[in-house]
Amino acid sequence: MRYLRILLPLLMLLGISVQAQSPTFDGVGRTPTAEEIRAWDISISPTGEELPPGSGTATEGAQLFLQKGCAGCHGLTGTGGPAPRLLKRDAGPDADPWSLGRILPIRSPYATTVWDYINRGMPLMQEGTLSPDEVYSLTAYLLFLNDVIEEEKVLDEQSLPKVEMPNRDAWAPLPDWWKPGMPRLTRYPYRLGILRPNRRQPDGSRDIWIHNFTQGVNKVTFTGAAAWPVWSPEGDKIIFQGEGERDLWITNASGLGQPGLIMTSELPIIAEAYSANGGHLIYRVGEDSKGDIFTRW
Ligand code: HEC
């Protein structure tokens, strides 16, 4: 006991002095060393400024595709294997890239992303074994196979970021208020909140609250009988189940104004999701998990 009395404050003191130097994580790990961070820090951004020096062509890439075992999984020419095809379907040059299936070398908005993917993830089970030259060559080969670049084109840290991907402008743009470095969880992060849906208060009531990152906590329903909320795509409205669990309501996420009744049902009804284009509400009707899914404009 006497020891403990001395030891405990001593340990606490030591703990505090260690904490002052670097964050501690209470038994779940330690701060990574600068060297470890460097080894993990392999992300290549769209601008390609992090690309290592090196170069390669489609011709070299075609050989590597066989040598490095890519063909074993993706098929001899990037199609016909068990892994995803890497070759665009036999669609005309004007085909909508979104209709061509999941083919990174054609769907990605940036050629640098194709490089990054191969560098960090392929060949599967032997990730990280390719040299920069090999990754440039394999990227060139896949871009050539998909008619994005000419066969002779030399890809290196200068030319790769300049490759114009056919799908470049078909992606949703960043919101104009967002700047690099800002946290971004959704398209509308400032409106993102955590809804408190189904926990009843001790008196049996339940209401919907929004925890807004910038504005704090906000109550949006006041009847004590609101549950199962879903966000509208723009983040400005909330649909929820009302009194008696047989009706759906819509209200402003700000909490201002009166909720409007959307629909009623003979069985319990729960809104599941609001389609991204705002056009459809997906909802479930029925008891517990046995309900059926419906949509409605
Ligand atoms: C052991 C099997 C295997 C090998 C070997 C392999 N891959 Fe893959 N590859 C896969 C699988 C599986 C996926 C899909 C991974 C996923 O969805 O997460 C994939 C995905 C990819 C993609 C993205 C596909 C897409 O359209 O989204 C590319 C590009 C790619 N591989 C290139 C290569 C290259 C280049 C090599 C050779 C250096 C290679 N792969 C070797 C199994 C393999």
- The segment(s) of the chain belonging to CATH 2.120.10.30 are 189-296
Q: Consecutive sets of 10 residues in the chain, 297 residues long: mean pLDDT of each?
A: 43 43 71 88 93 97 97 90 79 66 85 96 94 98 93 97 90 72 54 54 80 73 86 84 88 87 89 78 78 73
- For the domain 189-296, what is the CATH superfamily, name and number? TolB, C-terminal domain (2.120.10.30)
Pocket test for ligand 1, best of 114, 122, 127 (most atoms within 8 A of CB): 122
Q: Note the pLDDT of residue 6.
A: 44
Cβ pair 260, 248 in contact under 8 A? no
The CATH code of domain 41-162 reads: 1.10.760.10
User: Atom 34 (ligand 1): residue with closest C-alpha?
Assistant: 70
Q: Note the pLDDT of residue 225.
A: 85
**Residues near ligand 1 (Cβ within 6 A):** 68-70, 72-74, 83-84, 86, 102-105, 117-118, 122-125, 138, 142
- Please provide the DSSP assignment of the chain as one string: -HHHHHHHHHHHHHHHHHHHHS---TTS--PPPHHHHHHH-----TT-TTPPS-EE-HHHHHHHHHHTTHHHHH-TTSSSSSSPP-S--S--TTS-GGGG-S-HHHH-S-HHHHHHHHHHH-STTSTT---HHHHHHHHHHHHHHTTSS-TTPPEETTTGGG---TTTTSSPPPPTT--TTS--SSSSGGG---B--SPPPTTS-B--EEEETTTEEEE---SSB-EEEEE-TTSSEEEEE-GGGSEEEEEETTS-S--EEEEE-SS-EEEEEE-TTS--EEEEESSGGGPEEEEE-
Q: Note the pLDDT of residue 8.
A: 42
Pocket test for ligand 1, best of 60, 73, 77 (most atoms within 8 A of CB): 73
Q: Note the pLDDT of residue 131.
A: 97
**Distance between CA 261 and CA 247 in Å, rounded?**
7
Q: Note the pLDDT of residue 214.
A: 66
Q: Note the pLDDT of residue 280.
A: 83
Q: How far is the CA of 75 from the centre of ligand 1 (A)?
A: 11
User: Atom 11 (ligand 1): residue with closest C-alpha?
Assistant: 83
Q: Note the pLDDT of residue 183.
A: 60
- The segment(s) of the chain belonging to CATH 1.10.760.10 are 41-162
